[in-house]
Amino acid sequence: MELGEPQRVQALVQSGLSHLPSQYIQPPESQPSARRRPSESGVPVVDLFHFDPNRSDDLRQQVWQLCHEWGAFQVVNHGVPRRLLDEIRTVGFSFFNSPMPEKLKYNCDGSGAATEGYGSRMLTKDDGVLDWRDYFDHHTFPLSRRNPTRWPDSPPNYREVVTEYSECMKVLAQKLLRIISEGLSLPCSFIEEAVGEVYQNITISYYPPCPQPELALGLQAHSDMGAITLLVQDEVEGLEVLKDGEWVTVQPLSDAIVVILADQTEIISNGEYISAQHRAIVNAHQPRLSVATFYDPSKARKISPASELVTEYSPLRYHGVMYGDYVSAWYSKGPEGKRNIDALLVHH
Ligand SMILES: O=C(O)CCC(=O)C(=O)O
Ligand SMILES: [Fe+2]
């Protein structure tokens, strides 16, 4: 493989493979079977059906507990129409099933971190094991970053679906941020205001079948960088969350949305909430698709622990950081679990 030449995992699979190429082989301690929890347990599901902003103290308490112990949970009766969840999965699959020259019109690899379009490598550096994943990243908010002509135009409703989906995910993220701010006994708008103007990206990930899935990862262990991530998956298992040192499967539920707290929320909450480490595993038989919607601050935003949460009994845990500096460090060092947020720990 020439450096800089786009190499899509899907194209690699289509060329016919019986073994996993060496760049995709994970070290033993990162392989899927290490520290795996037996699959009968799963990630807790929260039903928002009875949620009432003026009451619902039980639900707020339940969400606080999940944010404190897991940093991730699933929600149902979240208000996003099931039709829209199906549509985003359908247009996503339809793009990845289109011919390679069509997809390469939107190619984005090799031009630096966090660019919009069709790619495979999350990091710009060339060492390190590769993920068994292709993706399409869309910039959706603020509107000044949104240019739907950079998104696929087939099927004909692709851009419309992404636009409607982006709006619904923004509304749901804000609703959840209010609940989780109140869980910290802060005003409901606290986290939203700390984050400021929302930068939203939507990443559709496509994980082709893998010849030796026990040696690979679709996406290596990481925590998300921003404030909160909302994720929709198809019916194929693959997403796992780290809980007490063990990997737990997030059961695919077709009408559920997975909520993943990200690093800036951990910082704002002074560690009362945790950002969940998560990863994607792959399988030999079926492709898997997920849609992640990231709710992030702007690069110029300074993020710090809420002063209300820093007390004699709970001292300052994190140094404040400019979000843009956090992102640059992440892209240059790589995720490797949570080492980026760990670099901000205050040593007492
Ligand atoms: O595909 C998945 O389930 C995980 C995706 C993810 O974690 C991400 O895009 O940050
Ligand atoms: Fe993630």
pLDDT per residue as tens digits for the range 167-181: 999 999 999 999 999
pLDDT in tens, 51-87: 888 877 889 999 999 999 999 999 999 999 999 999 9
HSE (CB half, 13 Å, CA atoms) of 218?
27
Q: DSSP assignment of 236-290, as one string?
A: S--EEEEETTEEEE----TT-EEEEE-HHHHHHTTTSS-PPPEEE---SS--EEE
pLDDT in tens, 77-123: 999 999 999 999 999 999 999 999 999 999 886 555 568 999 987 66
Q: What is the mean pLDDT of residues 293-320?
A: 97
Centre of ligand 2 from the C-alpha of residue 247, in Å: 14
Ligand 1, residues 234, 236, 237, 239: which to mutate, most atoms within 8 A of Cβ?
Answer: 239
Instruction: Read off the pLDDT of each residue in 172-196 and give the average, rounded to a whole number.
Output: 97
Q: Averaged over 302-320, what is the pLDDT?
A: 97
Closest protein CA for atom 1 of ligand 1: 290
User: Is a pLDDT exceeding 80 seen at residue 38?
Assistant: no
Mean pLDDT of 277-290: 97
CA of 222 to the centre of ligand 2 (A): 6
Q: Flag whether the ipTM exceeds 0.95.
A: yes
* pLDDT the model gives residue 174: 97
Q: Which ligand is nearest to the CA of 233?
A: 1
**200-221 tens-digit pLDDT:** 999 999 999 999 999 999 999 9
Q: What is the pLDDT of residue 2?
A: 42
Q: Is 62 helix (H, G, I), strand (E, B) or coil?
A: helix
From 61-70, 115-124, 261-270, 287-296, the region with the lowest mean pLDDT: 115-124
Q: Which ligand is nearest to the CA of 136?
A: 1
Tokens 């966090």 correspond to 114
How many percent of the chain have pLDDT more than 90? 81
Query: Atom 5 in ligand 1: which residue has the minimum CA distance?
Result: 292
Q: What is the pLDDT of residue 47?
A: 95
The pTM assigned to this predicted structure is 0.95
- The finding on whether 280 has its CB within 6 A of some atom of ligand 1 is yes
**Ligand 1: residue whose CA is nearest its atom 3:** 239
232 CB less than 6 Å from ligand 1? no
**pLDDT, average across residues 243-259:** 95
> How many C-alpha atoms does 59 have within 13 Å on its Cβ side?
17
- Using most ligand atoms within 8 A of CB, pick from 123, 231, 295, 296 the residue to mutate for ligand 1: 231
Q: Is residue 222 within a helix (H) or strand (E), and if so which, with residue range?
A: strand 219-222
Q: How far is the CA of 224 from the centre of ligand 2 (A)?
A: 5
292 lines ligand 1 (CB under 6 A): yes
| Beta-bridge partners for 72 | 260
Instruction: Please indicate whether residue 91, judged by its CB atom, sits closer than 6 Å to ligand 1.
Output: no
239 lines ligand 1 (CB under 6 A): yes
pLDDT band at residue 126 under the 50/70/90 scheme: low
Q: Which ligand is nearest to the CA of 280?
A: 1
Question: Ligand 2 center to residue 269 CA distance, Å?
Answer: 20
| Whole-number pLDDT of residue 113 | 58
Q: Residue 292 CA: which ligand 1 atom is closest?
A: 9
Element at 169 (helix H, strand E): helix 158-183
User: Residue 92: helix, strand or coil by DSSP?
Assistant: helix
Mutate to test the pocket of ligand 1, among 202, 205, 248, 327 (most ligand atoms within 8 A of CB): 205
Ligand with minimal distance to 206 CA = 1
Residue 156 has pLDDT above 50, yes or no: yes
Query: Is it the case that residue 242 has pLDDT exceeding 80?
Result: yes
Instruction: Identify the band that residue 3 occupies on the pLDDT scale cut at 50, 70 and 90.
Output: very low
How large is the average pLDDT for residues 189-194?
A: 98
pLDDT at 41: 73
Mean pLDDT, the chain, integer: 92
Pocket mutation for ligand 1, best pick of 202, 235, 253, 278 (most atoms within 8 Å of C-beta): 278
Can you give the length of the chain in residues?
A: 348
Q: What percent of the chain has pLDDT over 70?
A: 94
Ligand 1 centroid distance, CA of 279 (Å): 7
Residue 197 has pLDDT above 60, yes or no: yes
Closest CA to 270 of 235, 232, 305, 233: 305
Where is pLDDT greater, at 34 or 71?
71
Q: Work out the average pLDDT over 248-257.
A: 96
Say yes or no to pLDDT of 4 above 80.
no
